Amino acid sequence: MRIVKIAFLSVMTLMLLSSIFCESYTAEEHLERGIALTKEGLLTEAAKEFEKAAKKKTDYVHAYYNWGMALSELGRFEEAIEKYEEALRIDPKFARAYFNWGLALGKLGRFEEEAEKYEKGLSIDPNYPDAYINWGAALGKSGKYEEAVEKLEQAISMNPNDGGAYGNLRFALVALNKKKEGKEAFLKALELFKSQGKDEDAKKVEELLQGLEEK
């Protein structure tokens, strides 16, 4: 019985020490812990670490940004948007916060607002082809197909090896009744996915192409 009691006290002591040490972490250390937890897929725990970093240092833009990303991964998009807004209050030129804000809006089906965030982010940092792809996709979902084609072609000019850009381009072109060009874009996407070993993406494109041929 005495051995069990000693072991129990030992665990309680460790818990107390852990709590004390945790309180002594700097904002930067909480951020590093959060990033490490994110890499392990422990997103709830990561979000808590980013929250602690933000509370320790209220103008810590990277704490709010990473907190927002963790919340987005957890599907808590409204909360994530609040953190991106806070990051941008601290640093209005933080383009990636706009890009991730756009992604969260897209998950909520708010495509016109999503497109606006990509536009704002790209006005700060125009050298981000993925944002052009997402902007084009959001415009397409908003029914603005000609603008969507423009943005997707911009993305392709910046990175000709992105199959996703060609895939999104196909949908916008078909919506504009440019079926031949749309099929060519899809075939290019398939070629790129296969050459890059992206088998799942290639399979999806092949299935869609097969469905089109059967119609």
Domain that holds residue 96: 26-126
Question: Residue 11: is its pLDDT beyond 50?
Answer: no
Question: Which of 72, 97, 126 lies at the terminal end of a domain, its last residue?
Answer: 126
pLDDT per position as a tens digit, 155-188: 999 999 999 999 999 999 999 999 999 999 999 9
Q: Is 73 exposed, middle or buried (0-12, 13-18, 19+ CB in 10 A)?
A: middle
Average pLDDT, integer, range 112-139:
97
Share of the chain above pLDDT 90, in %: 84
- Would you say residue 203 lies in a domain? yes
Confidence of residue 154 (pLDDT cuts 50, 70, 90): very high
Structure-token pair, residue 116: 């606006």
Angle subtended at Cα 176 by Cα 173 and Cα 177, rounded to the nearest 5 degrees: 90
CB 134 within 8 A of CB 100: no
Question: Which of 126, 151, 180 lies at the terminal end of a domain, its last residue?
Answer: 126
Cα separation, 128 vs 155, whole angstroms:
8
Helix (H) or strand (E) holding 166: helix 163-175
Cα separation, 166 vs 120, whole angstroms:
23
pLDDT per position as a tens digit, 85-102: 999 999 999 999 999 999
Looking at the fold, whether 119 and 162 belong to one and the same domain comes out as: no
- Would you say residue 213 lies in a domain? yes
Looking at the fold, whether 42 and 111 belong to one and the same domain comes out as: yes
Q: Which residues touch 47 (CB under 8 Å, ≥6 apart)?
A: 34, 67, 70, 71, 74
pTM for this predicted structure: 0.84
CB 172 within 8 A of CB 140: yes
pLDDT per position as a tens digit, 42-57: 999 999 999 999 999 9
Q: In CATH, what number is assigned to the domain containing residue 142?
A: 1.25.40.10
Cα separation, 84 vs 97, whole angstroms:
5
